């Protein structure tokens, strides 16, 4: 069997670690990783080669590789990007642009399709106030595309860049097979929660931070209001959706950008769930105006009917399954609570 060569950028991040583990379980891939950091022990042995350093300067290293699939996960998340805007733009936009050019070049050189998987975000949406947020409910991909944050602007623009490169460096070779050379596909993820890793620099981080803190018997001061509602997803579902979209035949895809959703909860509901599992823990609410403003601009939920229709998406973990079958059993094992 010929192994497919995949590149995973941002491999040390939460999605990266979980994705590398899943790709390795599948066994059909030669996995090349990239990150600013050395790989953690959990995935070190699973990577055939790790390139450490700033992607913007490291992309030229990859011009000798024949990648079949690129998972471009490296990014500066929303809260961090708001305080280091220029750096965020460099990482989030320039990094993506260089990698798209690489993918276009490789697909042309080898005359074959290169799949480019891009995790976008609910941050690509921007809603003007809480009344509109409430009435908007579950938003569709083409609604409220007016992000309020640098991270959201970066993600939305990179979706467009991916579509641009796909069109001009892909369909140029239209007839007859394969129809797309640079085959760009993007998912808009909600807040993701892993039982094994914690996020850093994001704004949906209050969800995982609160749950991990309660499970360790530590007090937690939540940086958003109790009534703050956005959608969340278990990390195994995020990886499942990424791989389902990767595997979907191109002709089934009526779109390039897809929402994926699992369950929407308020921060207060997270607190109630955490206290039910870990009674007596101390969870308080002390909203930070900047971070509150960011989540207030994100929708309460997203409509993922396109993904369900085009490639059969369905999460394994709704709210109850997330807590009862995934998070609590794993976290109890991890922290022994």
Which range touches ligand SER (CB under 6 A), out of 197-205, 212-220, 245-253, 280-288?
A: 197-205
Strand partners, 189: 121
Strand partners, 31: 6
Q: Which of residues 143-162 bind ligand SER (CB under 6 A)?
A: 151
Which range touches ligand SER (CB under 6 A), out of 9-17, 49-57, 201-209, 324-332?
A: 201-209
Which of 10, 126, 202, 315: binder of ligand SER (CB under 6 A)? 202
Cβ nearer to ligand SER, comparing 14 with 34 = 14
Cβ nearer to ligand SER, comparing 29 with 189 = 189
**Residue 191 in the binding site for ligand SER (CB under 6 A):** yes
* Beta carbon of residue 66, minimum distance to ligand SER (angstroms, whole number): 31
Cβ nearer to ligand SER, comparing 118 with 151 = 151
**Residue 113 in the binding site for ligand SER (CB under 6 A):** no
**Residue 203 in the binding site for ligand SER (CB under 6 A):** yes
Which range touches ligand SER (CB under 6 A), out of 9-17, 25-33, 98-106, 115-123?
A: 115-123
Cβ nearer to ligand SER, comparing 213 with 224 = 224
Q: Which residue is nearest to ligand SER (CB)?
A: 202
* Beta carbon of residue 149, minimum distance to ligand SER (angstroms, whole number): 8
Spatial contact of 77 and 291, defined as CB atoms under 8 Å apart = no
Q: How far apart are CA 287 and CA 292, in angstroms?
A: 6
How large is the C-alpha radius of gyration of the chain? Answer: 20
Q: Which of residues 77-96 bind ligand SER (CB under 6 A)?
A: 77-78
* Beta carbon of residue 171, minimum distance to ligand SER (angstroms, whole number): 29
**Residue 264 in the binding site for ligand SER (CB under 6 A):** no
* Beta carbon of residue 208, minimum distance to ligand SER (angstroms, whole number): 9
**Residue 55 in the binding site for ligand SER (CB under 6 A):** no
* Beta carbon of residue 307, minimum distance to ligand SER (angstroms, whole number): 16
Q: Which of residues 116-135 bind ligand SER (CB under 6 A)?
A: 121-123
Count of residues engaged in binding ligand SER, rule: CB under 6 A: 11
* Beta carbon of residue 121, minimum distance to ligand SER (angstroms, whole number): 3
Spatial contact of 127 and 23, defined as CB atoms under 8 Å apart = no
- What does the binding site for ligand SER look like in residue numbers (CB under 6 A)? 77-78, 121-123, 151, 189, 191, 202-204
């Amino acid at each position: 069997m010929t192994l497919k060569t995949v590149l995973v950028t941002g491999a040390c991040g939460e999605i990266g670690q979980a994705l590398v583990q899943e790709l390795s379980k599948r066994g059909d891939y030669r996995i090349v990783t990239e990150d600013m950091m050395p790989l953690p022990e959990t995935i070190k042995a699973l990577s055939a080669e790790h390139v450490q350093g700033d992607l913007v300067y490291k992309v030229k290293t990859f011009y000798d590789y024949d990648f079949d699939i690129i998972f471009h996960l490296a990014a500066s998340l929303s809260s961090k990007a708001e305080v280091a805007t220029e750096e965020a733009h460099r990482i989030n936009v320039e990094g993506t642009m260089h990698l798209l050019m690489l993918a276009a070049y490789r697909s042309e050189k080898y005359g074959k399709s290169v799949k480019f998987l891009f995790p976008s975000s609910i941050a690509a949406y921007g809603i003007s106030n809480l009344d509109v947020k409430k009435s908007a409910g579950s938003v569709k991909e083409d609604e409220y595309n007016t992000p309020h944050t640098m991270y959201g602007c970066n993600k939305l623009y990179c979706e467009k860049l991916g579509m641009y490169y796909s069109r001009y460096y892909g369909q140029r070779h239209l007839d007859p097979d394969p129809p797309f050379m640079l085959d760009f596909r993007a998912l808009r993820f909600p807040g993701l929660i892993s039982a094994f890793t914690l996020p850093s620099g994001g704004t949906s981080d209050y969800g995982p931070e609160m749950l991990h803190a309660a499970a360790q018997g530590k007090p937690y001061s939540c940086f958003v209001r109790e009534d703050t509602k956005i959608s969340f997803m278990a990390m195994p579902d995020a990886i499942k959706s990424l791989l389902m979209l990767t595997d979907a035949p191109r002709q089934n895809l009526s779109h390039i950008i897809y929402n994926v959703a699992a369950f929407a909860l308020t921060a207060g509901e997270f607190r109630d769930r955490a206290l039910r599992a870990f009674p007596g823990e101390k969870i308080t609410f002390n909203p930070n105006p900047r971070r509150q403003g960011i989540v207030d601009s994100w929708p309460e939920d997203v409509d993922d009917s396109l993904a369900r229709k085009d490639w059969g998406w369905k999460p394994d973990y709704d709210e109850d399954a997330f807590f009862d079958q995934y998070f609590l059993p794993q976290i109890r094992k991890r922290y022994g609570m």
